[in-house]
């Protein structure tokens, strides 16, 4: 074991005494679509939408998704065929590489992705279940009813969550006699103002198909038949006697249409009309005779409005002796397969596009893949610096109070982003003003698709009281919400974890989640950095089965002592940190770091104003990462045969404005340099430089955070 005393780095100010100040810190991570200045474009407030874990994960990972309407479950088919078909359709979507997102209304909440129990309930219970078109939403939601969504409602929700592919049996249209009754389905209106592609078997045969096509043209909706010709299908029949303006022969061609629709920001949708399979088709002449008789009967009985479609469909089912139902099942299954393949092809097109274009940063998922994933606390810091000496006599003190973004995870992600990295922050905030402040005002430059907003939750808040000299007097925090950083939440980012250069965990993360992340990263050979956050959380990784896979750990002296005590209490010496001389603190830190360094590849111990100790087996002029020819950073191979070396880097004097966040900025500076393949000495210099910026500002991570050329 070798101990080293490094020379001062360009006589930097004393600052690492302030690195022990580390604060702790569900929006359904939905992609934000940009909207042009248009008259109307259907979209909905996410406040009323609940997205299932499966769908949310697919959204975050940018996987192909297909939305499915639920009126076919609640009103379109008899039980149990409705439920059986719904399950079959979802499975077909999955088998073809996409994620199904059945949209329904349950007790006044719009659900995107429903579980099996809910699907069964919607299919069985008709009482208090409403066939919900776009116009019906306010009533159904306000009355907390259940609802089966029609094409129009499903379109609006699909657009709101950023899913461009929807599958249904057939769209609504202009009813027969609609030229006098003005009975036109809201589906056509929504298609005219919602940029989503609908995969269907045309319009239902009971409608006036010619006028439906004319209306779609007027609304600016592109209609294309899927196949070798332009014959527009009539739901039960492959041919309606009318033609689509266009046809697409493959799912790739259809995907290109949707890709152009999305990226040119057109306001209208696209209809991909898929003919029913030949073996299940009912001759159009036969269907026309049946429908005419049904319409005539309905007129004689005075059946109108929304009651006419169920009546005619019932008449058709009886007249075809059930063939119409089997045809309905077959066509929706076929549409699901085609729609899923289109979604997969569209996803690949978008991925190809993202390799040629770098999108601006923002609060939604960025096109550039993150190279660092930071999992940890996002907190609102209230920093109170006294303007006069503290007196414990009950008086009110004059002070300067500043609100800023805090939390170790948030701080490190914020700092990494300002230093040129592409971090993804995974955290949890409440649906309150504090949560809005964190997302909108402190993280506008980051990919925050991993920040989940917990309904009814309180965003973490930390209050720090500084003396008039800038030293920490006391602090208090409400961190309960950070328990929501669960394994399920992190699972949504499994692909991103596996492809990143480094994953950072802070001590706010629950033990179960830490264990999951360590296992996933070990399997993918991705290094993990653990920042203990405080003494009560420092030993969390040691409660897992995978803690020895950690590559970096950055405790302060007290946190290092706690970790070593948990690891090997018989080898630890315990002193009051404040009672030790500077020389003794350094020696003890080197000893403790060497104990932990037997199991963790790199130990970075912060020692307050004294400096830092780095313990590893490599020399000071060696890097932590190797940079490949394509620019990717890979962890340096482990030098297990070498002896451990513990080097001390002293930090000269500075006058801090605020100590909050300095340690997190130091870590970010160090990481940003390490990921560029810099040597240990260069990484330490970069860390000091970033920390100096933080110490000179009131906020934990200053807007002008940088690593000066002198310190590189």
Average the pLDDT over 341-362 and give the result: 68
Do residues 654 and 15 touch, judged by C-beta distance below 8 A? yes
Residue 362's pLDDT is: 44
The bridge status of strand 472-478 relative to strand 461-466 is antiparallel
Give yes or no for residue 351 having a pLDDT over 80. Answer: no
Residue 621's pLDDT is: 94
In the chain, pLDDT over 70 holds for what percent of residues?
89
**56-111 residue pLDDT tens:** 888 877 889 999 999 999 998 999 999 999 999 999 999 999 999 999 999 999 99
Residue 7's pLDDT is: 45
What is the enclosing helix (H) or strand (E) of 261?
helix 251-263
Residues linked to residue 375 through DSSP beta bridges, in sequence order: 426, 505
Sorting pLDDT into bands at 50, 70 and 90, what band is 530? very high
Instruction: Give the burial string for 32-63 (b: 16+ CB within 10 Å, else e).
Output: ebeeeeeeebbebebeebbbbebbbbbbbbbb
The bridge status of strand 129-132 relative to strand 146-149 is parallel
What is the enclosing helix (H) or strand (E) of 625?
strand 625-627
Residue 670's pLDDT is: 97
Residue 369's pLDDT is: 67
Q: Point out the catalytic residue in the list 22, 62, 131, 204.
A: 204
Confirm whether 62 is a catalytic residue: no
Burial (CB < 10 A; 0-12, 13-18, 19+), residue 545, is exposed
DSSP 534-569: STTTTTGGGGSS-GGG--EE--BHHHHHHHHHHHHG
pTM > 0.85: yes or no: no
**116-138 residue pLDDT tens:** 999 999 999 877 899 999 999 99
Confirm whether 69 is a catalytic residue: yes
Residue 536's pLDDT is: 93
**583-596 residue pLDDT tens:** 899 999 999 999 99
Give yes or no for residue 152 having a pLDDT over 90. Answer: yes
DSSP state of 401: E
Give yes or no for residue 541 having a pLDDT over 90. Answer: yes
**628-666 residue pLDDT tens:** 877 788 888 877 789 999 999 988 578 787 777 889 999
**Cα 195 off chain centre by:** 22
Average the pLDDT over 616-633 and give the result: 89
Do residues 378 and 451 touch, judged by C-beta distance below 8 A? yes
Q: Point out the catalytic residue in the list 69, 531, 559, 588.
A: 69
Residue 544's pLDDT is: 95
Sorting pLDDT into bands at 50, 70 and 90, what band is 576? low
DSSP state of 483: G
d(CA 124, CA 73): 9
Measure Cα distances from 590 to 170, 612, 617 in Å.
72, 10, 13
Sorting pLDDT into bands at 50, 70 and 90, what band is 709? low
Lowest mean pLDDT among 240-249, 406-415, 458-467: 458-467
Average the pLDDT over 693-710 and give the result: 81
In degrees, rounded to 5, the angle at the alpha carbon of residue 119 between the alpha carbons of residues 117 and 123 is 120
Domains along the chain? 372-390+397-696 (3.40.1190.20)
Give yes or no for residue 143 having a pLDDT over 90. Answer: yes
Residue 130's pLDDT is: 93
Residue 526's pLDDT is: 95
**Residue given tokens 């019906």 in the structure block:** 136
Residue 578's pLDDT is: 63
Residue 42's pLDDT is: 58
CB atoms within 10 A of CB 677: 17
Sorting pLDDT into bands at 50, 70 and 90, what band is 327? very high
Spell out where 195-242 has E strands: 197-200, 222-226
Give yes or no for residue 12 having a pLDDT over 50. Answer: no
**479-490 residue pLDDT tens:** 999 999 999 889
CB atoms within 10 A of CB 271: 24
CB atoms within 10 A of CB 628: 10
Residue 573's pLDDT is: 61
**155-181 residue pLDDT tens:** 999 999 999 999 999 999 998 888 888
Closest listed residue to residue 116, CA positions, set 152, 88, 147, 93: 88
Q: For the chain, give the mean pLDDT.
A: 87
**180-212 residue pLDDT tens:** 888 899 999 999 999 999 999 999 888 999 999
What is the enclosing helix (H) or strand (E) of 373?
strand 372-375
User: Which is higher by pLDDT, 383 or 245?
Assistant: 245
User: Which is higher by pLDDT, 670 or 292?
Assistant: 670
Give yes or no for residue 367 having a pLDDT over 60. Answer: no
Residue 455's pLDDT is: 80
CB atoms within 10 A of CB 266: 15
């Amino acid at each position: 074991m070798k101990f080293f005393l490094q020379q001062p780095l360009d006589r930097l100010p004393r600052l690492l005494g302030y690195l022990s100040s580390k604060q702790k810190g569900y929006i359904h991570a939905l992609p934000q679509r940009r909207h042009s200045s248009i008259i109307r474009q259907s979209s909905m407030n996410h406040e009323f939408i609940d997205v299932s874990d499966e769908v949310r994960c697919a959204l975050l990972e940018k996987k192909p998704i297909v939305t499915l309407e639920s009126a076919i479950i609640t009103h379109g088919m008899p039980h149990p065929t409705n439920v059986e078909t719904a399950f079959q359709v979802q499975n077909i979507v999955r088998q073809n590489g996409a994620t199904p997102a059945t949209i329904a209304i349950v007790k006044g909440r719009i659900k995107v992705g429903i579980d099996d129990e809910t699907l069964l309930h919607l299919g069985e219970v008709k009482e208090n279940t409403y066939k919900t078109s776009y116009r019906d939403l306010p009533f159904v939601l306000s009355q907390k009813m259940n609802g089966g969504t029609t094409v129009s409602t499903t379109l609006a929700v699909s657009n709101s969550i950023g899913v461009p592919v929807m599958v249904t049996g057939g769209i609504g249209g202009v009813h027969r006699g609609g030229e006098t009754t003005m009975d036109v389905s809201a589906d056509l209106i929504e298609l005219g103002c919602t940029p989503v592609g609908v995969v269907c078997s045309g319009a239902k045969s009971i409608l006036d198909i010619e006028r439906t096509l004319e209306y779609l043209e007027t609304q600016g909706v592109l209609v294309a038949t899927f196949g070798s010709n332009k014959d527009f299908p009539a739901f039960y029949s492959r041919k309606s006697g009318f033609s689509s303006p266009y046809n697409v022969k493959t799912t790739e061609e259809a995907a290109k249409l949707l890709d152009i629709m999305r990226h040119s920001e057109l306001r209208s949708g696209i209809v991909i009309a898929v003919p029913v399979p030949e073996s299940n088709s009912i001759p159009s002449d036969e269907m026309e005779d049946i429908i005419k008789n049904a319409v005539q009967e309905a007129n004689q009985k005075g059946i109108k409005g929304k009651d006419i479609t169920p009546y005619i469909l019932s008449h058709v089912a009886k007249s075809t002796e059930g063939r119409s139902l089997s045809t309905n099942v077959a066509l929706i299954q076929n549409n699901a397969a085609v729609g899923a393949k289109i979604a997969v092809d569209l996803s690949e097109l978008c991925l190809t596009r993202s390799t040629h274009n770098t999108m601006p940063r923002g609060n939604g998922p960025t096109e550039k893949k993150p190279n660092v994933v930071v999992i940890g606390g996002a907190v609102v810091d209230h920093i109170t610096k006294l303007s006069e000496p503290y007196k414990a006599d009950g008086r009110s003190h004059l002070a300067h109070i500043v609100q800023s973004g805090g939390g170790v995870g948030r701080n490190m992600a914020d700092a990494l982003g300002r230093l040129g990295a592409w971090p993804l922050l995974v955290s949890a905030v409440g649906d309150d003003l504090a949560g809005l402040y964190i997302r909108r005002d402190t993280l506008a430059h980051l990919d925050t698709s991993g920040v989940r907003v917990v309904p009814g939750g309180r965003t973490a808040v930390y209050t720090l009281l500084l003396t008039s000299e800038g030293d920490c007097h006391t602090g208090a925090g409400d961190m309960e919400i950070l328990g929501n950083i669960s394994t399920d939440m992190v699972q949504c980012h499994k692909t991103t974890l596996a492809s990143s250069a480094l994953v950072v965990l802070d001590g706010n993360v629950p033990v179960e989640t830490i264990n999951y992340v360590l296992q996933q990263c070990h399997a993918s050979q991705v290094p993990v950095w653990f920042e203990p956050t405080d003494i009560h959380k420092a030993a969390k990784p040691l409660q897992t089965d995978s803690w020895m896979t950690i590559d970096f750990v950055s405790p302060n002296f007290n946190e290092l002592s706690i970790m070593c005590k948990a690891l090997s209490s018989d080898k630890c010496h315990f002193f009051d940190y404040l009672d030790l001389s500077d020389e003794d603190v350094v020696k003890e830190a080197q000893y403790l770091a060497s104990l932990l360094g037997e199991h963790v590849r790199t130990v970075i111990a912060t020692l307050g104003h004294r400096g830092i100790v780095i313990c590893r087996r490599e020399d000071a002029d060696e890097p932590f990462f190797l940079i490949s020819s394509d620019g990717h950073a890979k962890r340096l191979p482990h030098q297990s045969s070498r002896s451990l070396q513990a080097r001390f880097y002293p930090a000269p004097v500075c006058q801090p404005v605020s100590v909050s966040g300095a340690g997190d900025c130091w870590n970010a500076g160090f990481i940003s340099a390490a990921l560029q393949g810099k040597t240990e000495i260069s990484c330490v210099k970069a860390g000091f430089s970033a920390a100096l910026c933080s110490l000179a500002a009131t906020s934990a991570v200053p807007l002008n955070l940088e690593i000066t050329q002198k310190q590189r």
